[in-house]
Amino acid sequence: MRTYARMTGLYAPTLKEDPAEAELASHRLLLRAGMIRKSASGLYSYLPLAWRSLMKIEAVIRDEMEGIGAQEMLVPILTDGELWRQSGRWSAYGPELMRLMDRHEREFALGPTHEESFTDLVRNELRSYKQLPVTLYQIQDKFRDELRPRFGLMRGREFIMKDGYSFDADVEGMQKSYNDEKGAYARICERVGLRALPVVADSGQIGGDTSVEFMALADAGEAEIVYCDGCGFAADTEAARAPINLVEGEEGDLQKLETPGCGTIADLAAFLKVPEAATRKALALVDGDGKPWVCFVPGDHEMNDVKAEHAFGAYHMMSDEELVQYGLVKGFIGPIDLPEGVGSCADESLHDSAWWAIGANDAGYHYVHAKQGRDFTIGRWVDVITAKAGDRCPKCGAPLKAARGIEVGQVFQLGTKYSETMGATFADPDGVEKPFQMGCYGIGVSRMLAAVVEQHHDEHGISFPVAVAPYEVEVVPLDVNDDVVWPVASHVAEELLAAGVEVIVDDRKERPGVKFADADLMGFPYQVVCGKKAIKNGNVELKVRATGERTEVAIDEVASLLSARIASERA
């Protein structure tokens, strides 16, 4: 019979101080709790506690993959350079692809992803449409030589990834495989305790999405997203096309107002005593072909760089010198009397806006009651603004919320991109050779652990959900040498173990304060504190890490109470 785990048998060197190099909570807390250690820039060891959590995340992934019929396997990390040449990525990938030569001077890459390997694997063995569909996946260390590795497990150079690849006979099949994965990914996020949103990265031409990123909501996230609590819509602010709450300027006859010093939207709105949304912002730029433009957007929205590149190519905002060169007056640009040769365009959200408050192309003057169609016309409509909280959900019209997100997974319809270039074909029912319709699906497993910590921590440390906690319960005997306290702690731990609970006992000869601090730092969901006073009443103290709630529970009841509660909280 095995006995319960003990803190003295656990390698988890905790740190009392915050490590200077760690900006993010997850980076800081995983280091402090003795769960990870840096071995070189962007390279981390997962110590035993982190490894237990990672194994739980992997188990959830495996279970959901089995549920959709995806099959686990493993291809080598070393991938033949020849395969990368076939796909064209040997030259396209750049320095992020880690390369080496073997002793026979043959080139290899350390796989950052394995589209080539899996396409190569099946291309001579999946020969008929009858064998399709097939979805294969693996969980494996991946390598990307990031220019600036940072944020601990968030952006490392070696990281654990689940990557999967589907092979279908036609587009409909690929879409089904893709949708199966998308559903599984949403369930995986939920089961590991992550609040994550499926953010549409790209919309298909036929309808439906062709790529979705799963974004775990967290202030530390690198991506900005808007989402709808009502219908579940979510999009990157850079990609969203969300209707805005259009606020019109005042109606009236065109009037040129002296607006001294009102060179910004904030100044103008304050001067006019209207919300910024009722004003219009003019942005002067030169497009990729060298043509000057003035682009108008609502006063309370920003132009987005990615969208602007779609609209204007390799554009740049005009410098002060260029403004002068094109006859534009900084801070007072408007659509009426624009200088010769400067194009006028506006964001689509202003298409139906009648009344504008806008610069007069005259230093120190703005127009109010400028009416589109009467006083000016816009030559071209573009989609360039960044969506923001309060804009309307494009699906259901409800107000959107804004958040930051950590990309923990992505599903992608590849189509025939790899199968065509690498000559991976099958025979259709008529005997015609066709390239596979492929999908690829990735989860950042180690990053997912960091994301869980970002969502589940407080000022005292990590507060793991049961689903991915290294241990579910920590038993804390306040004095291991006490001949009343220790037997109770040991008894409770044995009972928990017998009930199938993952329990660890802090059997160190440390002060209670040290034990409490470490327990809160490591974030086991439940703590059973065994002290003399409570035991005198036949009780132990049960602390819920997430809420801080403490209750006294009878010694003989705590194991059954906890095991029932934990069973309902497992992944």
Binding map of a second copy across residues 509-538, x = CB under 8 A, - = no contact = ------------------------------
Q: Does 10 bind a second copy (CB under 8 A)?
A: yes
Q: Which two tokens stand for residue 63?
A: 């279970």
* 534, 540 Cβ separation under 8 angstroms: yes
For every residue of 385-438, DSSP letters joined together read: BPP-TTSBPTTT-PBPEEEEEEEEEEEEEEETHHHHHTT-EEE-TTS-EEE-EE
Q: Based on the shown chain and the rule CB under 8 A, indicate whether residue 121 belongs to the binding site for a second copy.
A: yes
- Kindly state whether residue 75 participates in binding a second copy, applying the rule CB under 8 A: yes
The two three-digit tokens of residue 347, written as one number? 């964001």
Q: Using the rule CB under 8 A, is 471 a contact of a second copy?
A: no
By residue count, the chain amounts to 571
155 in the Ramachandran plot: left (φ > 0), alpha (ψ -120 to 50) or beta? beta
Counting contacts by CB under 8 A, is residue 494 touching a second copy?
no
Whose Cβ is closer to a second copy: residue 157's or residue 543's?
157
Query: Which phi and psi (to 5°) does residue 278 adopt?
Result: -85, -5
Cα maximum dimension of the chain: 93
Question: Does residue 209 sit in helix, strand or coil?
Answer: strand
Question: Which residue pairs from 559-564 have beta carbons closer than 8 angstroms and sit at least 24 positions apart in sequence?
Answer: 559/492, 559/495, 559/496, 559/498, 559/499, 559/501, 560/499, 562/472, 562/473, 562/496, 562/499, 562/501, 562/526, 562/528, 563/496, 563/499, 563/500, 563/501
44 lies in the binding site for a second copy (CB under 8 A) = yes
Q: Identify which range of 101-109, 246-254, 360-368, 467-475 contacts a second copy by CB under 8 A.
A: 101-109
397 binds a second copy (CB under 8 A): no
Q: Minimum CB separation from a second copy for residue 52, in Å?
A: 8
Tell whether residue 136 is a contact of a second copy (CB under 8 A). Answer: yes
Nearer to a second copy, 159 or 376 (CB): 159
User: Is position 19 an interface residue for a second copy (rule: CB under 8 A)?
Assistant: no
CB neighbours of residue 223 within 10 Å: 16
Buried b / exposed e along 505-528 (16+ C-beta atoms within 10 A): bbbeeeeeeebbbbbbbbbbbbbb
Residue 117 found at the interface with a second copy (CB under 8 A): yes
Span of 40-48, 203-211, 260-268, 453-461 interacting with a second copy by CB under 8 A:
40-48
Determine the Cα–Cα distance for residues 450 and 472; give it in Å rounded to an integer: 18
Nearest residue to 243 (alpha-carbon basis) of 229, 230, 226: 226
Cβ-based nearer residue to a second copy, 130 or 380: 130
Q: How far is the CB of 153 from a second copy (least distance, A)?
A: 12
Q: Which is nearer to a second copy, 315 or 464 (CB)?
A: 464
- Residue 506 beta carbon to a second copy: minimum distance, rounded to whole angstroms: 15
Q: Which is nearer to a second copy, 110 or 311 (CB)?
A: 110
Q: Does 150 bind a second copy (CB under 8 A)?
A: no
Shortest distance in whole angstroms from residue 241 CB to a second copy: 37
Q: What's the closest the beta carbon of residue 151 comes to a second copy, in angstroms? A: 17
Say how many CA atoms lie within 13 Å of 3 toward its Cβ.
Answer: 7
Residue from 21, 100, 128, 316 touching a second copy (CB under 8 A): that is 100
Residue 95 DSSP SS3? helix
Per CB under 8 A, does 74 bind a second copy? yes
Q: Which residues bind a second copy (CB under 8 A)?
A: 2, 9-11, 13, 37, 39-40, 43-48, 50-51, 54, 66-67, 69, 71-80, 95, 98-100, 102-103, 106, 108, 110, 117, 120-122, 125-126, 134, 136, 140-141, 143, 145, 147, 157-158
